[in-house]
Amino acid sequence: MLDIKFIRQNTDFVRQKLYTRGQTLNLDGFIRLDEKRRNILQEVETLRNERNSVSKQVGERKKKKEDATELIAQMGGVSSRIKELDEELAETEEELDRLAMLIPNIPHESVVFGKTSDDNHLIRTWGEKRVFSFPPKPHWEIGEQLGILDFARGAKITGARFTVYRGAGALLERAVANFMLDLHTREHGYTEILPPFLVNRESMTGTGQLPKFAEDSFRIGIDDNTDYFLIPTAEVPVTNLHRAEILDEKDLPIYYVAHTPCFRAEAGSYGKDTRGLIRQHQFNKVELVKFSTPENSYGELEKLTINAEEVLKRLCIPFQTVSLCSADLGFSAAKTYDLEAWMPGQETHREISSCSNFEDFQARRASIRFRREENGRIEFVHTLNGSGLAVGRTVVAILENYQEEDGSVVVPDALKPYLHGLERIT
RNA sequence: GGAGAGAUGGCUGAGUGGUCGAAAGCGAUCGCCUGCUAAGCGAUUGUAUGCCCUAAAAGGUGUACCGCGGGUUCAAAUCCCGCUCUCUCCGCCA
């Protein structure tokens, strides 16, 4: 959510910035509604003031055993008018809030203008693409032939886009996750969190998944009173850890890492990436989440991205890092780096991590603030997160980059401690 | 699933219709005192938001908030209704 006062005072700037996202929003209506809200507020507060002071007088008279009927009668009309205005105010605020929740974040000044993902800006590449003496296969063929990925049975027991891992495949997935968690907790200074995988509506709204992207989530209700959602990413529970809190500046930055399953309805992506592990309704991800002061958040974004890249470097998987252009940026993000791993079986780079600075966009929605040490003033924190990394897609990258002509897969050195002596999956 | 108790400021905890944004204590900050520390003394100490003032802050003023939502009343932390959460006991359970 953006600051309404900021929108009011910088309407043209906001309009122009949102335009770069390919958005055309009616800010004028929004501004007019805000004006209406302030007018009603002024009127109702004046009346409340009157009522408060008269009520006080009534109390004083009654104490002195004096007659107050005429004062009381005088307030009858005022109270009903207040009630009317309160209703009108509530309606206006609800509508204003509804509109405010649909306005995306403003891209950072370093974000390049673009219209599609083709305009994303290449930041750096790492690693040498392996030269194969045979045509490398896509992971779904490798996985099925080795009997470690079972797409047919995943579809049988649940449906499309669900997969069963078996034997060494399950072990590999577990090893990759543990390797990532150990790297981030022991070397990068993150605190491990194991959050609930179901969250309430407030949490989903706080990080920006709701109200706009409701169709992307799985919703769970045990009865009419529960309104829970399967987490689409650990970002939701972990960022909401500090919702409606005021943190101390001395505790910042806060670094969290969480390994969780992620559930995505993937509405609107029918027919896309239908084969293999790339686009699933359920997948595992190790997520990095940071809370930072505003002045440090862009430095923290660089560090977070490097922490994510380190996973691929240790696994010796070639990748490239791109900065998303204005149109490709997610709803809540001010700036995003995507890490794209090389997938030789598909002859393409695939996104394996997305690292974003949300500035105060999520903090404002979720009311996550901190107190300045020097003057005690309260400000919104900046929130950041990034995959470190998507576990399933990392397994895909390993299978495709480490495959041999006989169909076996060599275990990357970095993972050997986690695979109990297994050197090769055959 | 059944029965009961509770939710008040950073914390403990008083407050059952009016002068209560809320006693008292603790903590914190500032000042005084002090060789240092401790003790003592004094002051300050919630959040949001409208308006005024300001370059901006500071400041002034109004309003709201005592788990959340609604109701009664001239007036609600206090009374009524619904909900959520916490705790205790019983049952069930990995």
Question: Which residues in 243-282 of chain A line strand B, with CB less than 7 A from it?
Answer: 246
Burial of A279 (0-12, 13-18, 19+ CB in 10 A): middle
**Closest nucleotide to A37: CA versus each C1':** B50
Residues in chain A: 426
**CA A279: distance to chain centroid?**
18
DSSP 8-state secondary structure symbol assigned to residue A295: G
**Closest nucleotide to A46: CA versus each C1':** B62
Strand B contact nucleotides, protein CB < 7 Å: 18-19, 47-51, 58, 62-64, 70, 74-75, 83-84
pLDDT digits (tens, 9 = 90+) for A21-56: 998 888 899 999 999 999 999 999 999 999 999 998
Indicate the SS3 state at residue A34.
helix
d(CA A254, CA A261): 22
The C-alpha angle with vertex A7 and arms to A6 and A9, in degrees rounded to 5, equals 65
In contact, A312 and A341? CB cutoff 8 Å = yes
Which ipTM did the prediction report? 0.89
Indicate the SS3 state at residue A409.
strand
Question: Which residues in 353-412 of chain A line strand B, with CB less than 7 A from it?
Answer: 369, 376-378
The C-alpha angle with vertex A311 and arms to A306 and A317, in degrees rounded to 5, equals 110
Segments of chain A with pLDDT less than 50: none
Domain range A4-100, its CATH number among 1.10.287.40, 1.10.1270.20, 1.10.3720.10, 1.10.150.240: 1.10.287.40
Burial of A323 (0-12, 13-18, 19+ CB in 10 A): buried
* Domain residue spans of chain A: 4-100, 117-425
Please tell me the predicted confidence (pLDDT) of residue A67.
Answer: 81
* Distance from CA(A252) to C1'(B28), angstroms, rounded: 20
A5 touches strand B (CB under 7 A): yes
- Identify each DSSP E strand in A69-129 by its residue range: 121-126
In contact, A172 and A395? CB cutoff 8 Å = yes
Containing H/E element for A379?
strand A378-380
> Is the peptide bond between A253 and the residue preceding it cis, with omega within 30 degrees of 0?
yes
Indicate the SS3 state at residue A369.
strand
d(CA A197, CA A262): 8
Question: Which residues in 98-127 of chain A line strand B, with CB less than 7 A from it?
Answer: none
Domain range A117-425, its CATH number among 3.30.930.10, 3.40.50.1100, 3.40.50.11540, 3.40.50.720: 3.30.930.10
Which residues face A368 on adjacent strands? A245
